[in-house]
Structure 1
Amino acid sequence: MSRVLLSPKVDFVFKRIFGNEQHPNVLISFLNSVLVPADPIQSVELKNSDIEKEHLEDKYSRLDIKAITNKGEHINIEIQLRNEYNMIKRSLYYWSKLYEGQLGEGDNYNKLAKTICINLLNFNALSNQKFHNVYRLKECETHEELTDVMELHFIELKKMKEIKNAKDIQSKLEAWLLFITNPESELIQELEQVQVEIREAKEELIRMSSDSKERERYEKRKESMLEKVSLLEGAEQKGIEKGQKQKAIEMAKKLIDKGLDNEFILETTDLSILEIEEIRKNRD
């Protein structure tokens, strides 16, 4: 019986497929589909193809892909499953590190090359309905571009429209996103017959999914990611509870100022008698 394929949305799998030195055409095809350059990328040099054991188990590690194109562009690709409500600032920070990291001591600023961050998000982060947004530095009124050395891409998977037939696919990027979200679909089975790079990516995914050691690494990564989600959700819940408590305290203060008794305040706010008496004492 065939095994269920691993999910390319998990960063470990995504990096194994798109950041694989044995399959450079997969990354080249993906980058050309995202950037749509007038002069297509011909080759890439991967800068961080290894995945260390400690990275799989570290819930805060980033399994991103760093590459330099034949045109000298520095590119970082990251896939995120869960909204941590910091994606824009996070992307700007990692873009700045990648940009600054090009210079050594004494190097001239002219050495700095175009730097691009591509963020694939399994959640909605931006207010518009486009699934692919591109940002650069521009003048606020005239929209004149200051420079193209900074470019940020946000690709929101959940905003992709439903595609049922291959003839409805409007771009190579849509084809790649279909592969990332549902590699076992009939659409992908159809696409891999005619698109060499997607077939190559699917074959690598099948290889990984059939390898017991790769599945073990995958499960370790998923476990560490779930632990991170649990910690974040716990922190969010504490924040919600703290906010609710503060609202109850503010309500109690107003009711005390209006001269209402403890019993009424108790029923209205769900604070304890001791808490209400403490607030009352501090209001006197």
Structure 2
Amino acid sequence: MDKKKEDQRMKELKDRYIRFDWAIKRLLRQKANFGVLEGFLTVFLGEKITIVELLESESNQQSEDDKFNRVDIKALNDKGEIIIVEIQNTRELYYLERILYGVAKAITEHISLGDSYYKVKKIYSISVLYFDIGRGEDFLYHGQNHFIGVHTKDQLVINTKEKNAIVSRLPSEIFPEYILIRVNEFDKVAVTPLEEWMNYLKDGTIRPDTTAPGLDEAREKLKYYSMTPEDRHAYDEHLNAVMIQNDVLDSAKLEGRMEGRMEGKAEANLENAKKMKAMGIDLEMIRQITGITL
């Protein structure tokens, strides 16, 4: 290999960045690195976000069974609202039901028995998806509850009493917002901060001249070679686990198409379930992926 190619290879290694799912599980839980996560939230929520603290719950505890398939983080912003960020690496059945449950759980976790409903916090649920959740031409989807007049088409405004005053509030100020980021559907040249973040989520690339909120800090704090050798080894194992599981799932899809019948699909699912079990993948996760009963 000539010196020019070797220099290029070394530069690529030096500028290699850690995947966002790993960063959320490890580095971005540190207060010193909140700037990266705040930039991400600012871009995808369309408003300046400041994180006050990270919140603990059963759903965001690290576990061996969940070491590569799903990671999440829950934060409180300076408005007292709760933001859930979840990354799903592989296909999961009933995903919409899962995020609905997660939002409901977050609401109930942070209101005490007997508290006024006024203390219910608005929730933002952001899902970074690396699997095909369904049909749709966009890479970014947003959903929320709206009350629209069936005949008049106007939005209902709710009057509530707060501190002895009548305050008008839109349901959008109360009800959760859901954002689905379909990483694999992004295929644009990155121009806007949103597109630059999509590039990083998909390919792990960050422009050297980026001004996108959070990405300039990510360039400094999420470099592969800034980790200890032990952390780099654990990170490499994480990537291997993701690739192996995706290979298994791709095989399952291929075998299912080739069989062309329900019986063939069931057999393919069973065979792949055996493979996943042999790899030590959690049984509940296998059930969700293949649809096979425990």
Matched residues, number: 233
- SS of the residue corresponding to residue 199 of structure 1 reads helix
Question: 2:262 maps to what in 1?
Answer: 243
Superposed displacement of residue 22, structure 1? 1.0
Matching residue's letter, 1:147: P
Match of 2:160 in 1: none
2:163 is matched with which residue?
Answer: none
Most deviating of 70-79 and 206-215: 206-215
Tell me the secondary structure at the aligned position of residue 103 of structure 1: coil
Work out the CA distance in 1 between the residues paired with 2:177 and 2:62. 31
Aligned to 2:89: 81
What is the Cα deviation at residue 157 of structure 1?
Answer: 1.4
2:179 to 153, 161, 185: 153
Mapping of residues 185-264 of structure 1, within 5 Å: 188-191=207-210, 194-195=211-212, 197-206=214-223, 210-222=227-239, 224-225=241-242, 243-244=262-263
1:175 aligns with 2:186: no
For 2:209, the aligned partner's letter is E
Deviation at 1:59, TM superposition (A): 4.8
Q: Does 1:118 align with 2:126?
A: yes
Q: Is the 8 Å Cα contact of residues 41 and 71 (structure 1) preserved in structure 2?
A: no
Out of 88, 92, 101, the position equivalent to 1:93 is: 101
Query: 1:27-81 deviations in whole A, cap 9, x for unaligned?
Result: 22211111113xx3234311259xx996255458742111000001101101122
Q: What is the alpha-carbon distance in structure 2 between the residues aligned to residue 246 and residue 60 of structure 1?
A: 26
Cα distance in structure 2, aligned partners of 1:64 and 1:86: 17
- The answer (yes or no) to whether the contact 1:28–1:41 under 8 Å persists in 2 is yes
- State the partner residue of 2:285: none
1:153-201 deviations in whole A, cap 9, x for unaligned?
101112224206xxxx13x22222222223346xx1231xx45731211
How high is the TM-score relative to the length of structure 2?
0.65
Distance 1:246 1:184 in 2: 37
1:29 paired residue among 35, 39, 42: 39
CA distance in 1, matches of 2:81, 2:74: 11
User: 1:94, CA displacement in angstroms?
Assistant: 0.9
Q: Deviations over 1:226-245 (max 9, x none)?
A: 67657767887998878236
* Structure-2 change in CA distance of 1:131 and 1:231 (3 Å): closer
Q: Structure 1 46/220 Cα, relative in aligned 2: closer, same or farther at 3 Å?
A: same
TM-score (norm 1): 0.67
Give 1:123's aligned amino acid. F
| Cα deviation, residue 151, structure 1 | 0.8
In structure 2, do the counterparts of structure 1 residues 134 and 246 end up closer, same or farther at CA, with 3 Å as the change threshold?
closer
Deviations 1:86-122 (A, max 9, x none): 2211111111111111112222211111011100112
RMSD: 3.6
Q: Is the 8 A contact 2:81 2:122 kept in 1?
A: yes
Query: Secondary structure of 1:63's partner?
Result: strand
Name which one, 1 or 2, has greater alpha-carbon Rg.
1
Alpha-carbon shift at residue 144 of structure 1 (Å)? 3.3
Q: Which amino acid aligns with 1:182?
A: D
- Sort the Cα spacing of 1:84 and 1:153 in 2 relative to 1 into closer, same or farther, 3 A: same
Q: Which range is displaced more, 135-144 or 64-73?
A: 135-144
In 1, Cα distance between the equivalents of 2:40 and 2:136? 23
- AA of the residue aligned to 2:220: E
SS in 2 for 1:119: strand
**Distance in 2 (alpha carbons) for counterparts of 1:246 and 1:75:** 38
Q: Distance in 2 between matches of 1:221 and 1:143?
A: 49
Counterparts of 2:251 and 2:132 in 1: how far apart (Å)?
Answer: 21
**Aligned equivalents of 2:68, 2:145: Cα separation in 1:** 30
